[in-house]
Amino acid sequence: LTIDVNNKGAKISPSLHGIFFEEISHGGEGGLYAELIQNRGFEESNIPPGCSLDSGWIIPPRIPHFSSNAVSDWKMKWEAIGQWPAWSLQTTGKAKAEVSLSSKQPLHAATPHSLQLDIKAADKAGSVSVVNDGFWGIRVDKGESYNLTYYIRTKKFSGPITASLKADDGRTLASYTFDDAKSSSWKKYTCILKASDSDSNAKFHLTTNSPGTVWIDFVSLFPVKTFKNRPNGMRVDLANYLADLKPSFIRWPGGCFVEGISTESAPNWKRSLGPLTERPGTYSPWGYWSSDGIGYHEFLQFCEDIGADAMYVFNCGVSCEMRAGVYSPDEKIPGIIADILDGIEYAIGPVSSKWGAVRAQNGHPAPFPLKYIEVGNEQVGERYAKRFNIFYKAIKEKYPQLEVMAAMGIAHLHKPTVNAISKMDIADEHAYKGVYWPMIYHDWYDKYERKDWKLYVGEYACNSGVGSGNMMAALNDATFILGMERNADLITMSSYAPLLENINDTDWPVNLIRFDNAKSFARISYYTIKMMNENRASVNLKTDLKLAETEGSKVPLYTGKIGLSTWDTYAEFKDVQVLQNNKLVYTSDFVNHRNEWRTEGGDWKVNDQALAQTTEGAWPMAILSDRSFDIYTLKLKARKTGGP
Ligand code: AHR
């Protein structure tokens, strides 16, 4: 290996490593957001705006990755979760009560539901409790304090109400009795619950021995200790993982989350501002509701807290809807432009501006570190390009200092979109790859066209053929990062995805940091990125690598088992032959990218013998998938016979 220190190439960008946060797998709600009560405002079983059960588009809360869009299935799943997910009613002795979801006299019009508790019978010997499971349990630590807030209004009810945290085995870990718990109009109650003991699977109870009717809303419980001790803050262990990565920027809030289930229900920064009781929350297309407790302001604050630039992704009037991409009518564009310009003003406008003043009222007169704006997520096609051009012009005219990013890449596949874009600062191209792909295509980006743009690899991961993430994944990710570094003149930013996974509701196979309500750990790929960032090269040097010959035959630089995963590209290959040490070990009439085979005219069958996949502009490959490290020679008489 010869390294020529005088022959310098491109400098590696200090912004190469950032992070991408999305509301997926409860990364925020029941994850980074330190709130301990699930469905705190009883809004989770709402039907999102712009959706209906009959349209088939609605993804019910907490139903992981959908496999079917049959309307009957959706309805069944929706009904299965009940009307007050995470809450239940418990009675002792002869107490009798019923709960229902009420929309009468709401605490706030934007959050129309409350829980109505009708207590028919209760006395000293028989009590009634409404119980919250937390996010698959509540972790309570001896000696720690928890801030409780809840609202009630009552009728023919004399109180008192006791709030408590109870262990799995029934032990009371903390409790506080509100003697004055009765009010004909909405009244806020607060206390600090101090834990006398610990349990990692505790539940929260509101208990009474009084008959009558109680409407309950916005029940919120926070550990006093949050990241930087901010009220309404972040969970300490998870926030520390993110801070320790020293990301140069944070992209948020998605991903598909940005696209929304419908354009009407897609996230909107204005709805996520202001009093928590007035935030309607957002349905994640990943199958659950989030409170928007980590709203626009809180996330900008988090960026500032960890020294990262902010990259906000906004919905540009295109929704996910089963990935078909449904566009809101063009008449809506001026409104969307006005909205995102307001959002930018909120983040960086002077306090004398309308939205800068609101930011100051919310406790932050200084501008936040917003540097990048991304127009939608993973949208391709000329219609998107036309829309992008309009947004780009409007944003740059007012905020020339911002980098405006397009939500698709510049790879071969995206050419028609790129050609229709007049000007973009950075293109965001995603790269989920199978095991060995980064090694085989170590020179992938070397071949990319250089033009008046930079590339941001906004979502990358080796995420198939590696279980839920292992050393092999980390080696692949490291190789991939080296490929980006080598192309530093083009690639200036990257972020691994997805970032966070609550293991009780996983939406995606491989994630960087895994956790439940009590524990968390970062996968080895996390430490790979941390190491590569902490020891980031400053400049590329010219190298010349000559491979030694091994016994028998020349060994190519990257060889072995090949698995390529790619976009939803459909392709099939004809007459595939695989040779091992010049011996024919496998043939197939047809193989497709999903590892299925068929004979001419026959049906596709699952194939665990061979795998043939394609990737954008790459050679088709066929391999044995016996998980060994043998070297195969591939004789490909393959030709693509189907797909786009
Ligand atoms: O990271 C998971 C998903 O992958 C993102 O939501 C989306 O942008 C991509 O398709």
70-84, 106-120, 452-466: least confidently modelled range: 70-84
Across the range 505-514, mean pLDDT stands at 92
Determine the Cα–Cα distance for residues 630 and 249; give it in Å rounded to an integer: 41
Q: What is the pLDDT at residue 436?
A: 81
Atom of ligand 1 nearest to the CA of 22: 6
Nearest-CA residue for ligand 1 atom 4 is: 255
Mean pLDDT of 351-379: 97
pLDDT at residue 323 is higher than 80: no
> Of 39-53, 515-529, 601-615, which gets the smallest average pLDDT?
601-615
Residue 296 Cα distances to 292, 347, 354, 407, angstroms? 8, 9, 16, 20
Question: How far apart, in Å, are the Cα atoms of 147 and each of 40, 220, 223, 625?
Answer: 14, 8, 6, 53
Distance 255 CA to ligand 1 centre (A): 5
Burial of residue 110 (CB within 10 Å: 0-12, 13-18, 19+) is middle
Binned at pLDDT 50, 70 and 90, residue 325 comes out as low
**How many angstroms separate the alpha carbon of residue 377 from the centre of ligand 1?**
8
Region 149-178: mean pLDDT is 97
Lowest mean pLDDT of 39-53, 197-211, 626-640, name the range. Answer: 626-640
Protein residue whose Cα sits closest to atom 9 of ligand 1: 255
pLDDT of 620 > 80? The answer is no
From the candidate CATH numbers 3.20.20.80, 3.30.465.10, 3.40.50.300, 3.90.850.10, the one assigned to the domain spanning 16-32+230-536: 3.20.20.80
Higher pLDDT pick, 51 / 628: 51
User: Cα(254) to centroid of ligand 1, in Å?
Assistant: 7
* pLDDT value at residue 639: 40
Distance 177 CA to ligand 1 centre (A): 45
Mean pLDDT of 428-455: 87
Domain residue limits, the chain: 16-32+230-536, 83-223, 551-644
Say whether pLDDT at 621 is over 60: no
Confidence (pLDDT) at 55 = 53
In the DSSP assignment, the letter for residue 156 is: S
> What average pLDDT does this structure show over 495-518?
94
Both tokens of 542, joined, read 């010219």
Least confident stretch, 30-39, 82-91, 304-313: 82-91
Tell me which amino acid residue 562 is: I
At residue 417, the pLDDT reads 84
What does the alpha-carbon distance between residue 181 and residue 152 come to, in Å, rounded to a whole number? Answer: 8
The chain-wide mean pLDDT, for the chain, equals: 84
Which residues does ligand 1 sit against, CB inside 6 Å?
A: 22, 24, 254-256, 377-378, 430, 459, 497-498, 508
- 426 confidence band (pLDDT: 50, 70, 90): very high
**190 to each of 30, 150, 187, 196, 277, how far by Cα in Å?**
21, 7, 10, 19, 14
What integer pLDDT is reported at residue 606 of this predicted model? 54
Strand-pair category, 426-434 with 403-406: parallel
CATH architecture of 83-223: Sandwich (2.60)
pLDDT range class, residue 583, cuts 50, 70, 90: low
